[in-house]
Structure 1
Amino acid sequence: MVKAGGWLMFPIIAGSIIAFAIILERFWALQKKKVIPDHLVASIWHWIKEGQLERSKIEEISKQSALGKILATGLNNRHLERDRIKESIEEAGRQVVHEMERFLNTLGTIASISPLLGLLGTVVGMIKVFTAITSSGGVGNAAPLAGGISQALVTTAAGLTVAIIALIFYRYFRGRIDELVVKMEEEAIKMVDVLHNNRSISSVSEDKKPTGKAA
């Protein structure tokens, strides 16, 4: 089939290999447990309550997952006001989303150009058919006609197959990223509330401390 499709089969096959590699890599990278580890905010809250939140732990959180990178940014800015913490988290979130969308543009490009390559193969095949008809003065010799028609059909089928698969997974990963982003936003808001509430409790405790003056 590759031989029948002609030289245009080579870019279509190359595109299919690249698309397959991207699909496998994104399936691995976008696992929920890798992006949003369970009980991460609860662990941070425990460390804050116990006074065990050290810079080394914040750096470790940042390296473990995409959510950890966002929360670590908020923890590094926890001394700021609530709105400033949210701004820093949103900025980190944009960077994380950009990393999560890595290679998706390539996958989308493959989904777009594969049917065009198939269409080009169809045109080239039909040119061969009409050239054979013109040169032979009719349709008496079926071999050249069959070769051109075979090239037209094979490249079209191959291009459409690659495009359909690439487009399906492109849309799937886009939807999965959107779902993960929503969940990361929820976790980030929880941590901002934890930091804000902890600061409020600390302020109340400071206000209630005795001044040391005799009654």
Structure 2
Amino acid sequence: MEDSVQQKIIDFLQVGDLVVWILMVFSVVALTIVLLKLWQFSSLRAESLKTSQLALDDWRNGAREESLQKLDEKRPIDALVAYSMRSVLEAKSNVELIREEVERRAMNQLSQFRSFLRPLEIIATLSPLLGLLGTVLGMITAFQQMEGAGSQVDPSVLSGGIWQALLTTAVGLAVAIPVVTLQSWLERKVERIAHNMNDAVTQVFTSKEAKELVEKAAKEMLHAA
């Protein structure tokens, strides 16, 4: 049973020629990237807002130290929230400068989450085009065989050449469709992470606690001047 399945796979790859081999490599690369991204999102719990929301509740209630203790800074959103809170508490910089630094850190984090999504897009774009190229080359070969046979054309030979040519288009679409779907899903996850980051950090700076601390720091700087 296993031998017959293996033989069918070998025959399938031989019929598809080089184009099918390239598409098989594309599919392996795409699967590797998707698994890597899923592991990245899962290990960092990048979309999680549970601990950051608890910390923000304490922050709004004036419990500064408690809010920082509830944050898990291995998570990207929690790390940004923690940095924002500490910067506001220390009040060593202008609020606008703090927000710019938070934005810079957020962009770096999002850049890491978007890494390898571009290769997925390239695979999704090239796969059907490669499949179509294989079909065109196969059709050319089939018609060359028909021309060489002259008046002794065997319809079965022609139909066999056509289905072999169409095989590459089918494989190209079979690779491209799931890759496009998974790429869109991963990009949507990155968009949600970006939204959650922006929402959580904004809550730090718009809270009553932050405004009071900033005003206090501004007065101290004025008296010092």
TM-score category, normalised to shorter length: 0.7 to 0.9
Q: TM-score, normalised by structure 2?
A: 0.74
Distance of aligned partners of 1:71 and 1:140 in 2 relative to their CA distance in 1, 3 Å threshold = same
| Aligned with residue 42 of structure 1, among 39, 47, 54 | 54
Matched, 1:93 2:134: no
Distance of aligned partners of 1:130 and 1:192 in 2 relative to their CA distance in 1, 3 Å threshold = same
Q: TM-score, normalised by structure 1?
A: 0.77
Matched, 1:122 2:135: yes
Distance in 2 (CA, whole Å) between partners of 1:18 and 1:44 is: 41
Distance of aligned partners of 1:139 and 1:90 in 2 relative to their CA distance in 1, 3 Å threshold = farther
Task: Name 1:28's counterpart in structure 2.
Answer: 39
Structure 1 runs not aligned, ≥5 long: 207-215
Task: Name 2:27's counterpart in structure 1.
Answer: 16
Matched, 1:166 2:179: yes
RMSD over equivalenced CA pairs, Å: 3.1
Q: For the Cα contact (< 8 Å) 1:128–1:145, is it kept in 2?
A: no
| Aligned with residue 137 of structure 1, among 150, 155, 163 | 150
Deviations 1:195-214 (A, max 9, x none): 624615966xx9xxxxxxxx
Q: For the Cα contact (< 8 Å) 1:74–1:88, is it kept in 2?
A: no
Distance in 1 (CA, whole Å) between partners of 2:134 and 2:31 is: 22
Equivalent position amino acid for 1:22 in 2: I
Shift of 1:40: 2.4
Matched, 1:68 2:78: yes
Distance in 1 (CA, whole Å) between partners of 2:129 and 2:102 is: 42
Distance in 2 (CA, whole Å) between partners of 1:98 and 1:132 is: 52
Q: For the Cα contact (< 8 Å) 2:54–2:67, is it kept in 1?
A: no
Single out whichever of 99-108 and 75-84 deviates more from structure 2: 75-84
Equivalent position amino acid for 1:39 in 2: T
Q: For the Cα contact (< 8 Å) 1:5–1:150, is it kept in 2?
A: no
Identity of aligned residues (%): 24
State how many pairs are aligned: 200
Shift of 1:122: 0.5
Deviations 1:82-133 (A, max 9, x none): 2222111111111111111111101100000000110111011101111101
Shift of 1:23: 2.1
Q: For the Cα contact (< 8 Å) 1:116–1:159, is it kept in 2?
A: yes
Shift of 1:74: 2.7
Structure 2 runs not aligned, ≥5 long: 1-11, 221-225
